[in-house]
Amino acid sequence: MGKKQIRVGMIGYKFMGKAHSHAYRDVPFYFDTDGVPVMQAICGRDEAGVKAAAQKLGWASYETDWRKLIERDDIDLIDIGAPNNAHAEIAIAAAQAGKHILCEKPLAMSVEEAKRMLEAVRKAGVIHMICHNYRFVPAVQYAKKLIDEGRLGKIYHIRANYLQDWIMDPNFPLVWRLKKEVCGSGSHGDLAAHSLDLARFLVGEFKEVNGMMETFIKERPIGEMSGGLSANVKGGELGEVDVDDASIFMARFENGAVGVFEATRFAGGNRNGNRFEINGERGSIRWDMEQMNTLQFYSAEDEPGMQGFRSINCQEEVHPYAGAYWPPAHIIGYEHTFINLFTELMNGIANGKNPTPNFEDGLNNQIVLEAVQKSAQTGRWVSIAEVK
């Protein structure tokens, strides 16, 4: 049987646009998927910018209005890499036009929006996925396998941090990630969203949460960033920062486990410190994105005197996705997490089977995000049922 050509229309061409373009190019290079991406069209608002991006990133054509992209009958999949406030409108219109959808995280600006998005894709019967790429690190997939095999036994704890430091300079400008009307929340929806998605993947569903959020720098120079992570707007007019710089919460899970989560953009020296540790009755695991290929595993069943965390380089044939790349221990990086996720998307579309994580996960993650926000506002525990 021939492979199904999946013609992609992608919106947004900066950070995620680059990561996604790279992944579309590399899926057929490494994987034998049933669906093969065709980089049909890219979309951005600035014609000169999008034209240059189309050439550089390898797209056959471009559009300057996402509505035109969605109307095109030579597009099968809409890939949304625009800021958070654009996700719902684009996704709902794409679903109504019968397109399959990949949407960046967080899925939406609110639970209400996320519900409408899920309803739209269900009604249209299209394939949908949310781009929680950290699930697709081979070491994280292997952690999931160990947990599913019962090697940790009953899970007691998860402690997860997502630590960055890129806005610690008070002169760092008021970029879209610091404006509530564009992003919905700060470190919370940007970073905690990944940690809680990993927690749902590895530990289970949340039951209740208790959180706090803090904004350390309350005003910043108005202006966008022209690249890099350093402040480039000095002086000038200031605007209010109306999102959190840090978000911290405790959680109880349906299965009795408890969790502690910390997401911040003010953890100096931590450029992209995405980490978790999970402790169960039979063992523990630890993972850190800054050493993404290594999974640390402790087994309480090792013989006395030999107990302790062992470091497993999850880059052998037996580790999920790893065998598609290089000989053992010839390691992979950040961009491969997207390639791995996209293989599931391509197979899902080709075979009419919805992969995970999808809009249902996006909604469930949004519910946890909103429950923490509600708790931070009210100063009390908030149950997931209350926000659902």
Ligand X SMILES: NC(=O)c1ccc[n+]([C@@H]2O[C@H](COP(=O)([O-])OP(=O)(O)OC[C@H]3O[C@@H](n4cnc5c(N)ncnc54)[C@H](O)[C@@H]3O)[C@@H](O)[C@H]2O)c1
Q: Give the distance from CA 318 to its chain's centroid.
A: 25
What's the helix, strand, coil split of the chain in %, to 5?
Answer: 40, 25, 40
The burial class, CB within 10 Å (0-12 / 13-18 / 19+), for 125 is exposed
One-letter amino acid identity for 52? A
- The phi, psi pair for 109, rounded to 5°, reads -90, -15
Stretch that binds ligand X, among 76-84, 235-243, 318-326, 379-387 (CB under 6 A): 76-84
Place of tokens 């999974």: 295
Q: How far is the CB of 334 from ligand X (least distance, A)?
A: 9
The least CB distance from residue 207 to ligand X, in Å, is: 26
Whole-number minimum distance, CB 132 to ligand X, in Å? 7
Binding flag, residue 84, ligand X (CB under 6 A): yes
* Binding of ligand X by 14 (CB under 6 A): yes
Instruction: Please report how close the Cβ of residue 22 comes to ligand X at its closest, in angstroms.
Output: 13
Of 8, 10, 17, 139, the one binding ligand X by CB under 6 A: 17
Which amino acid is present at 147? Answer: I
Nearest-angstrom CA–CA distance, 175 and 183: 10
How many helices (DSSP H) and strands (DSSP E) are in the chain? 12, 17
Total binding residues for ligand X by CB under 6 A? Answer: 21
Q: Which two tokens stand for residue 296?
A: 């640390």
Find the part of the chain contacting ligand X (CB under 6 A) among 82-90, 214-222, 232-240, 318-326: 82-90
Q: Which two tokens stand for residue 362?
A: 């996006």
Closest CA to 105 of 135, 130, 137: 130
66 binds ligand X (CB under 6 A): yes
Segment contacting ligand X (CB under 6 A): 15-23, 71-79, 252-260, 286-294?
A: 15-23
Applying CB under 6 A, among 33, 133, 164, 364 the residue interacting with ligand X is 133
Region of 41-49, 207-215, 239-247, 272-280 interacting with ligand X (CB under 6 A) = 41-49
CA dihedral 61, 66, 68, 73 (to 10 degrees): 70
Name which position in 107, 121, 131, 384 contacts ligand X (CB under 6 A): 131
Q: How far apart are CA 246 and CA 267, in angstroms?
A: 9
- Using the minimum distance from each CB to ligand X, give the nearer residue, 164 or 293: 164
Tell me: does residue 184 bind ligand X (CB under 6 A): no
Among 82, 117, 118, 371, binds ligand X (CB under 6 A): 82
What are the strands, taking DSSP E only, across 151-243? 155-163, 206-214, 219-221, 238-240
- The helix/strand/coil state of 285 is strand
Distance, CA of 291 to chain centre? 18
Which residues face 52 on adjacent strands?
none
Three-state DSSP state, 342: helix
**Residues 141 and 287: beta-carbon distance below 8 Å:** no
Asked if 362 interacts with ligand X (CB under 6 A), we say no
Judged by CB, which is closer to ligand X: 102, or 152?
102
Instruction: Closer to ligand X by CB, 208 or 370: give it.
Output: 370
- CB closer to ligand X, 141 vs 279: 141
Which one of 104, 245, 361, 370 is in contact with ligand X (CB under 6 A)?
A: 104
Placement of tokens 């919370």 in the chain = 188
283 counts as binding ligand X under rule CB under 6 A: no
Given 6, 8, 10, 11, the residue binding ligand X (CB under 6 A): 11
How far is it, in rounded angstroms, from Cα 346 to Cα 35? 5
Tell me if 105 contacts ligand X by CB under 6 A. yes
Name which of 16 and 278 has its Cβ closer to ligand X.
16
Single residue of 6, 10, 12, 292 touching ligand X by CB under 6 A: 12
- Element housing 296 (H / E): strand 294-299
Stretches 79-87, 107-115, 213-221, 352-360: which one binds ligand X (CB under 6 A)? 79-87
Query: Least separation, in Å, of the C-beta of 193 and ligand X?
Result: 8
Please state the closest distance from residue 17 (CB atom) to ligand X, in A. 6
d(CA 99, CA 349): 10
| Contacting residues toward ligand X, per CB under 6 A | 11-17, 43-45, 66, 81-84, 86, 104-105, 131, 133, 190
